[in-house]
Structure formats: structure tokens, C-alpha cells
Amino acid sequence: MTVSANNQKVDVAHTLREKMAARSRPSGGPEKKSDLKEILLRLVGYMTGGENRSRFIQALIMRAIAVTCLTGIPFFTGQAINVVSAPGGTLGQLRGWISLAFAAGIIYLVLSIMAERIFSRLATTGLYNLQLDLFGHIQTLSLSFFDRQPIGELMSRVTNDTESVALFYESAVAQIIRSLFQILIILVVMFLVNWQLTLVALLIVPIMLFLTAVIERISTPAFAKLQEELGTLSGFQEETIAGHKVLIASRRHEWANEASDNYAGAVYDVASKAFFTSLLNFPVTQTMTMLQITLVLFVGSLMVVAGEIEVGTVIAFMGFAGLLASPLSDIANLTGTTLNAVAGGRRVFSIIDEEPTVVNAADATDFDFKGGHIEFKDVDFSYVPGRKILKHNTFQANPGEMIGICGPTGAGKSTLLKLIHLSERPSRGAVLFGERNLRKVRGRRVALHRRDVGVVFQDHRLLTDRSVFQNVALPLILRGVRRGEIGKRVRAVLGQLGLGERERALPTQLSAGEQQRVGIARAVVCEPRLLVADEPTGNL
């Protein structure tokens, strides 16, 4: 019995996880398998596009010159050793090569600092642009998006996923670019100095790249799964914390703990695999680097004994091998950061690419409200295609009338109010406000229309960190009403609703009925031309 019960609990938690994952998945069918290259280019585009392009090119030029100087250091060092080992070498020649090595090092240091400064600004700008796009686009999405999206999951995308992208911008992009330049320039110099030793140094590279590719193949889906599991865990935690009163009242503590353990366990399992595989890059690349240097030293020594090259050339190639292995190692070590950013970027872009369901009609016009009635003409509406919430709704509300809409839960009462408020748009038919079809209201006129409509929400939606006075005053502040006028109008409305002595209280210090009255006060304080209320007396 115990085993069966435990299995049942695990199955329930697994089912919950699947449901939350389904809710958090963007609309439009199953999750797409995004292209790694496409997401990377899109992320980098936020850093390098538009006004940032000229600064990015400047940083690339500085980086190329700096890496060229860095490559010159082992070459100059090798030439200095040749001077010392050669019978006819002079002190002046030695000083010349050493001076060139020092000069190359100083130029490399100065240009690297300048390039890093530009890249740091580009990283900050890229993250800023991405966050602006993400948050700004969220404001344009329709309510149906939020209906199917757990708030915790959405918060995970806005915070956790953007943080993984931020780490990529700050630590990976500049380093990867430097590494690519370094690999290219060093290979050119190595082939120019001695092509035989260059081929010897490159023997280890295919093995290193193969092992890195294997690790990446395992890590990529693991990091993508990790971001999904983190989002699911965040969604569950947000919903249980928000509904902790219900959990306490229904004595569901043990269930919540067990479900949380299952979610956290799933994150632990996936994270262990993802981070373990990515951490393998460091020992693999370090081992390959040491083998590469050893091989160059061995073959170079044989060539020196045979009289084919000088000792300084071997020393220079050992430096070249180290400079070649270093960027390969850096790229390998940044694989985890990059893959994590790609997984986060995929989830962020799934929101940015989300199309709002409430869009302007092709023949939308500017909206001038001149008063009048509300009329529904054969209106249909559905949140999910094929499942109509409203069917053939036709009615009229004239100025001065007070109309109540009754019906069972799920009948579409709240949806009617959303259509009037332009939070949603009908699937078919027309909603008229005066002589204007609300379906054709466009752009900023939507916000102007909403100013004419006062809304009392079913769940209050009060700002818990603001006082009663501040909650009611917020619409007036957004409209730019003078401070003295705000105080007068807010206190008048609160007095009418019996909340005059509660203006300094926080919403959490109020009863449900008092919170409901604060919501009513906020809706009427701007004296709207139309007032719509969703169960305004539910808690009174």
C-alpha cells in the first residue's frame, strides 16, 4: 500500500509538471526546434546592430591589432634566443628583439583595455535593448497570453533567462571574438614561420574539436531542458505562494511539499547533467593543450638536431602552440555559458515573437468619443479557435441605464466587459460605442478609449505595496492631474465609500469588502463616461 501510494503521489506530481509545462509553452502547436546559429546571431544583433555597429567595428579593429601584437611576442622572443645561440650574435641585436617584444606587449595591453571597454558598453546596451523589447512587447500582448501563462513561468523568462543572456553578453561575446581573431592570426604566422611544425601543432586540434562537439551535443538539450524545468518550478512556487491561504485552509501542506520536492528534484537532475558535461570541457582542453606543446617540443627538437631549424624557432612555436590552445580552451570553457544563453534566448524570443490576438483592423480609424450607447451586434468570441465563449450576442445599453448581466461561471460575463474595455476583440460581429466600431479603434486611441471606461475588477488587482490613497490616486497621476486636485478628488470618493479613515492603510490590512470598495473608488475617481464592474458586490 505504501509503495502504491508513493507511486500515485509521484504520478500526480509528474502530471502537474506536464500541465504547467503545457501552459507555459507558446501557442501555435508544439515547441519548435530552434536553430542554434539563428538564436546566437539574433542575440549578438542586440549588441552590434543599429547605432552600435560603428563602435563594434572599432572594437574589432583594436582587437585584431592587439592580437597581432600578442602573436609577435613569441616570435620576437624566438629571434632573441637565436641571437644568443648563434656565434655571431651581438648585444645590440638582442636588445632590439627584446625591445620589440616589450613594445608589442604594451600595445597589446593598451588596445585590449580599449576594446574591452567598448565591448562592456556594447554588452550593457545589448541587454538593455533586449529587456526593452521583451517588456515592451509583453505590454502589447492580449489577455489570452496571460491566461495560459503561469506568472511564475513568465517571471522566470523575464529574470532567469535574461540573466543567462546577460552573462553571455558580459563574459562570452568579447572573449569568443578575441579567441577567433587569435586563432586566425596565429595560424597565419605559424605557417609563415614553419609549415611543418604548424602541421604538427594542428594534429591535436581535430581531436579537441571532436571531444568538444560531443560534449556540446550532450549539453545543448540538457541546458534547454534545465531552463524549462526552472520555469516550471518558478511557476509552481509563485502559484502556491500566491494561494498559500487556500493551502492552509485545505490542509494541503504535505501535497505542496511533495510536489515542490518533485519539481526541485527534476531541476537538480537536469542541472547535474548539464553542468557536469559542460565542466568536462576544461580538463579535456587542458590535456589536449599539454599534449600539443609536448608534441611540438619533441618534433622541434628532432628538427634542431637535424639542423633544419634553429632553437629559437622551437621556442617560438611552443609560445604559438600555447597561444593557439588558449583560445580553443576558452571557447570550449564558454560552451556552457553560450548554450545556457541560447536556451534562455529561445524562451525570451518565444515571447517577443508571440503575436497579440488583439490587433488593429485593416480599416481602423482614429477614435473621437462623442457619447452614445453601447451596442453588440451578433458578436462571437473564443479564446481558443473552435470553442466559442460568446455566440450571436446582440443587445443595446443606452446612456443613463444600469444593466446587470447574469449567468453561471464560464458563461462569458467577464468576457463581455473585456470586449467593451478593448482588452479583447470579438471573433465576429461588432461592438459599438456611440457611432464607432470598437473593432476599428487603433494605436494610442485604444488607451484613450480605456480612459473613458472605468473598470471594477473581480479580483481587485490592488498594488499591495501602495496605500489605499495611492491606489485610488494612481489613475489621476497617470492622467497628469494636479496634486492638489488629486487629494481633493480621492478623499471625496473614499468618504463616499466609507474609507475616509483607511486612506493610509495597505491593501493587505483591509478586509475583502474594503478591498472591493477601494477597487470601486479607483474606477470612479476619474469620472468615466462608462462604468463596467465584474461582480462588484461579491465581497460586500
Extract the C-alpha cell encoding 160.
532567469
Q: Which residue has the cell 637535424?
A: 306
**Phi-psi domain of 418 (left: phi exceeds 0; alpha: psi -120 through 50; beta: other):** alpha
pLDDT at residue 538 greater than cutoff 80: no
Are the C-beta atoms of residues 356 and 346 closer than 8 Å to each other? no
The answer to whether residue 89 scores a pLDDT higher than 70 is: no
Q: What is the pLDDT of residue 496?
A: 87
The structure's pTM equals 0.57
Rounded Cα distance, 96 and 436, in Å: 85
Domains of the chain: residue spans and CATH:
19-27+35-352 (1.20.1560.10), 374-533 (3.40.50.300)
DSSP state of 509: G
How does pLDDT run across 278-331, given as a tens digit for each residue? 777 778 777 887 887 788 788 888 887 877 778 888 888 888 887 877 787 777
pLDDT band for 432, please (50, 70, 90 cuts): confident
Among residues 525, 452, 539, the alpha carbon closest in space to that of 491 is found at: 525
Q: pLDDT tier at 107 (50, 70, 90 boundaries)?
A: very high
The half-sphere exposure of 75 on its side-chain side, counting CA atoms within 13 A, is 17
pLDDT for 471-530, tens place per residue? 888 888 888 888 888 888 888 888 888 888 888 888 888 888 888 888 888 888 888 888
At 12 the pLDDT is: 43
Which is it for the CA torsion 481, 484, 487, 491, positive or negative? negative
CA distance 69 to 102: 10
331-359 pLDDT per residue, tens: 777 777 788 888 888 888 888 888 776 66
- pLDDT of 103: 92
Question: Are 378 and 427 a contacting pair, CB within 8 Å?
Answer: no
Average pLDDT over residues 101-130: 90
